A and B are shown apart, each in its own frame.
Chain A
Amino acid sequence: MPRVLPVAGAEWIGYRATRMQLALQEGASRSRAFEPVLALSAELSLASRHHLARNDLTAAIRNYRLCWVLACLDIKARYRGSLLGPFWLTLSTAVMVSALGFLYSTLFRTNLHDYLPFLALSLVLWGFVQNLVTESCTAFTSQEGMIRSLAMPFFVYAGCIVLRNVLVLAHNIVVIAVVFAIFAIWPGWAALAILPAALVWLVDGIAVAVALGAFCARFRDVPPIVASVMQIAFFVTPIIWKPELIQHGRRFLPVNPFFSLLEIVRAPLLGALPSWQVWVSAVGYSAVICAASWVLFVRVRGRLAFWL
């Protein structure tokens, strides 16, 4: 008989798993405490699909160290042998911000003191969003070799993309800091409001990476569509132009999910608290993104490897 779990230990920690649940602990191949069981069946109920998807997520969270190391090594490998290393990211952002700053402040005739900090912040944050979305499209297709030779949780690949982009963002923060220092801007206590916002971004990032990764693996036409959507979003969202420039219907801005999600991070750093409408919109859209992503993942998890 297979010894699935040391029973005494199980009772001691009050673990009340049924045989069925134990048989479904596919992701448990990571834990060495008991003999892992991999059980896959063609006729899975919705509940067991949920269970497998949840195991995927928890196994990825247990493997957070792998996600982190993968992200760090990615950046390291990308810039190995270059003089400035990852600080090329910082430098190119700095050049971009100063060039665009002078150009647009002339075009829009705005005050550089008001405009440049806003632009630097917006561009850096948008860079993160755009890279994240673009890389999410190839989250699984680019890992074809790995996925087809090792049963890793799919969330590991998604987590790696998010962490990698967080690292890139961290390098770009230098630019924001310098611009803020030059124009003597101090956000004050309002800046603390980015803590919940950062959490929202992190969760959304993983949800987007999983959903787009799976969707783009199945439908290879999606990545170019996503790229065009992001391009349009860049212009319709107040990134290079300030939201105050809209005279009529400014209160409809939170209808744009990109605006609200950007604003919950941007406004606190510029010393203002986002309005409740913005928060409602950001949290609402996040809930939709996460729910849609989860439903999709539960449905396609077993089929993903076939699509690569």
Chain B
Amino acid sequence: MAQVELDAVSIDFPLYHGNARSLKRTVVAAAAGRRLATDPQHRVVVQALRGISFALGPGDRLGLIGGNGAGKTTLLRTMAGIYAPVHGRIRVVGQLHALLDPSLGMNPELTGRENIMLRGLYGGLSRGRISQLEEDVQDFAELGEFIDLPLRIYSAGMVVRLGFALATAIEPQVLLMDEWFLAGDAGFMDKARARLERMVSGAEILVLSSHQHDIIAKWCTRVIWLDQGRIVADGEPEPVLQQYLGHALVRSENPLAAA
């Protein structure tokens, strides 16, 4: 039985490098309304997540909403085991698949077939499963003879199709999905949606981060609104979405009042 538990999870990003890079990060963070702070060792940190707690069980479909820089992607990365919490604890039971980066590990110099094999190996698939993956992806992405040519000569659409087909070929118990995934041209999305919905319905737990409220309302059974790394609201999709949209409306009408 899949299970996700977060208990007072906080994530701080240290700003180590006293150069243009960290300066840029500081500015970006400040623009996003993130609070800068110093940790006990007097290092400057960006508090990306603060005291996040929730628990999910089989059948839960969680939607994450919030403005840019609210911490949605960081939260997904933390659940995927990429960032270790600075405070609190996290526990995920079940086979996990995180769709965070559309071009994950794809090498433009390699052929489509080689990229498919690589992705299969990244996913820890056996040889037999990898050839299944290859067929499945080839069917969906409709690459034809391009499958044996390097990615670098593909059209942008072909790369998107390949990336999407690869990412959706694995059926996990816990599916974490970032919003990039729902972007794409309309014609492709019609075809992609069926595949995506199959994958989503197969997963025991879904965590989806999106700005598309209609998708959140349609797919999710629970919504968490994040702002500046904190949970602002947590509950049924409709009231939380309304609250969030009302807040966004106020902010856009009167920026001074919101600040």
- 1/0 per residue A125-153: CB within 8 Å of B? 00000000000000000000111111110
- Stretch of B90-98, B137-145, B184-192 on the interface side: B90-98
Segment 76-120 of A: residues with Cβ below 8 Å from B: 76-78, 80
Which residues of A146-200 have CB atoms within 8 Å of chain B's CB atoms?
A: 146-152
Asked if A77 and B109 make an inter-chain contact with CB atoms under 8 angstroms apart, the answer reads yes
Residues of B within 8 A of A148 (CB): 77, 82, 100-101
**Given known contacts A29-B81, A151-B81, is B105 in contact with A39 (CB within 8 Å)?**
no
Q: What is the size category of the interface that chain A forms with chain B?
A: 35 or more
Is B87's CB under 8 angstroms from A42's CB?
yes
Complex alpha-carbon distance, A199 and B29, angstroms: 47
Q: Do A69 and B105 have beta carbons less than 8 Å apart? A: no
Q: Mark B96-114, 1 if CB is under 8 A from A, else 0.
A: 1010110111010110001
Known contacts: A39-B90, A73-B107. The answer to whether A150 contacts B98 by CB under 8 A is: yes
Bound form: Cα–Cα A80–B86 in Å: 44
Q: With A and B bound together, what is the CA distance between A150 and B89 in angstroms?
A: 19
Query: Does A37 reach chain B (CB closer than 8 Å)?
Result: yes
**Contacts from B to A (Cβ < 8 Å):** 1-3, 10, 13-14, 16-17, 19, 77, 80-96, 98, 100-101, 103-105, 107, 109-110, 114, 117-118, 121-122, 124, 150, 173
Q: Which of A7-15, A234-242, A287-295, A299-307 touches B?
A: A299-307
Q: Which of A40, A66, A77, A306 contacts B90 (CB 8 A)?
A: A40
Please determine whether B110 and A77 come into contact, CB atoms closer than 8 angstroms.
Answer: yes
Q: Taking the nearest CB of chain A, how far is it from the CB of B100, in angstroms?
A: 4
Residue A16 CB within 8 A of the other chain: no
Chain B residues lying within 8 Å of A26, measured Cβ to Cβ, are 81
Known: A38-B92, A38-B93, A306-B14. 17 other contacts (CB 8 A): A23-B91, A29-B95, A29-B124, A32-B124, A40-B90, A63-B121, A73-B107, A76-B110, A80-B150, A145-B104, A150-B82, A150-B104, A150-B105, A150-B122, A151-B81, A151-B82, A305-B77
Number of A-B contacts (CB under 8 A): 122
A65 proximity list for chain B (CB < 8 A)? 121
Which chain A residue shows the least CB distance to B1? Answer: A2
> Cβ of A218 < 8 Å from any Cβ of B?
yes
The residue in chain B whose Cβ has the minimal distance to the Cβ of A37 is B93
A4 at the interface (CB under 8 A from B): yes
State in angstroms the CA–CA spacing of A145 and B10 once bound together. Answer: 22
Residues in B neighbouring A149, C-beta threshold 8 A: 77, 82, 98, 100-101, 104
Residues of A within 8 A of B14 (CB): 306-307
A74 to B, closest residue via Cβ: B107
Report chain A residues within 8 Å CB of B17: 220
Residue of B nearest to A44 (CB): B84
Q: CA–CA, A43 to B86, complex, Å?
A: 8
Check A306 against B109 for contact (C-beta < 8 Å): no
Given known contacts A69-B117, A151-B80, is B85 in contact with A40 (CB within 8 Å)? yes
A1, CB-defined interface residue at 8 Å: yes
CB distance from B28 to the nearest CB of A (A): 16
Smallest Cβ distance from B163 to chain A, in angstroms? 12
Known: A2-B3, A41-B90, A152-B122. A73 touches B82 (CB 8 A): no
Which one, A4, A40, A306, A307, contacts B93 given CB within 8 A?
A4
B89 to chain A, nearest CB (A): 4
Which one of A2, A40, A147, A303 has the greatest number of beta carbons of chain B within 10 Å?
A40
